[in-house]
């Protein structure tokens, strides 16, 4: 009796449909549907359609979506897993920081000074001796 070797085949297509994958990446990057649509030149309704009905990526917006969401096209369409940047667990915070980036330089400087003050205060609290 002969033995047969079973080889594992790589899936030919993405495991996850495009729509749910787009939604997951968009939310992880802190974008609303409207913001993402505006960034790529599409409407919020079009992004909602892609997320709920599209099984495959729309060719006309594919590269723009990948650039805005900071993923490769392969990651966006599901051929590679999406690399999650370290420290990006709070999409709302990162979205707010992108908004701060868009402020005029003087306003941005004030926000950063406030952040520095709060971080320094927390650091001093942690260093202070307890129970005294």
The owner of tokens 């990446």 is: 25
Report the predicted TM-score, pTM, of the whole model to 2 decimal places.
Answer: 0.59
- Asked if the model's pLDDT at residue 126 lies above 90, the reply is no
Confidence of residue 5 (pLDDT cuts 50, 70, 90): low
Query: CATH classification of 18-77, choosing from 1.10.260.40, 2.40.37.10, 1.10.760.10, 1.10.375.10?
Result: 1.10.260.40
- Lookup: tokens for 14: 């993405």
Pull the structure tokens for residue 103: 């402020």
Contact between 37 and 46 (Cβ < 8 Å): yes
**Could you tell me how far CA 30 lies from the centroid of its own chain?**
6
Q: Is 20 helix (H, G, I), strand (E, B) or coil?
A: helix
List the chain domain ranges.
Answer: 18-77, 91-127
pLDDT at 107 over 90: yes
Instruction: Give pLDDT, residue 14.
Output: 60
Q: Are 28 and 88 in contact (CB under 8 A)?
A: yes
Measured between alpha carbons, how far is 96 from 77 in angstroms, rounded to an integer?
A: 27
User: Around Cβ 28, how many Cβ atoms within 10 Å?
Assistant: 17
Q: Is pLDDT above 70 for 128?
A: yes
Overall residue count recorded for the chain in this entry: 132
| Planar angle of CA 121, 96, 124, nearest 5 degrees | 10
pLDDT digits (tens, 9 = 90+) for 40-87: 999 999 999 999 988 788 899 999 999 999 999 999 988 888 876 544
- What does R_g of the chain's alpha carbons equal in angstroms? 22
């Amino acid at each position: 009796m002969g033995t047969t070797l079973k080889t594992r085949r790589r899936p030919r297509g993405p495991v996850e449909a495009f729509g749910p994958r787009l939604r997951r990446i968009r939310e992880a990057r802190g974008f609303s549907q409207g913001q993402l649509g505006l960034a790529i030149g599409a409407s919020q309704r079009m992004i909602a359609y892609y997320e709920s009905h599209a099984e495959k990526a729309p060719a006309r917006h594919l590269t723009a979506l990948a650039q805005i969401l900071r993923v490769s096209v392969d990651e966006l369409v599901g051929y590679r897993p999406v690399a999650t940047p370290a420290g990006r667990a709070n999409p709302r915070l990162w979205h707010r920081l992108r908004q701060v980036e868009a402020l005029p330089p003087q306003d941005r400087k004030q926000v950063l000074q406030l952040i520095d003050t709060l971080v320094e205060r927390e650091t001093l609290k942690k260093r202070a001796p307890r129970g005294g």
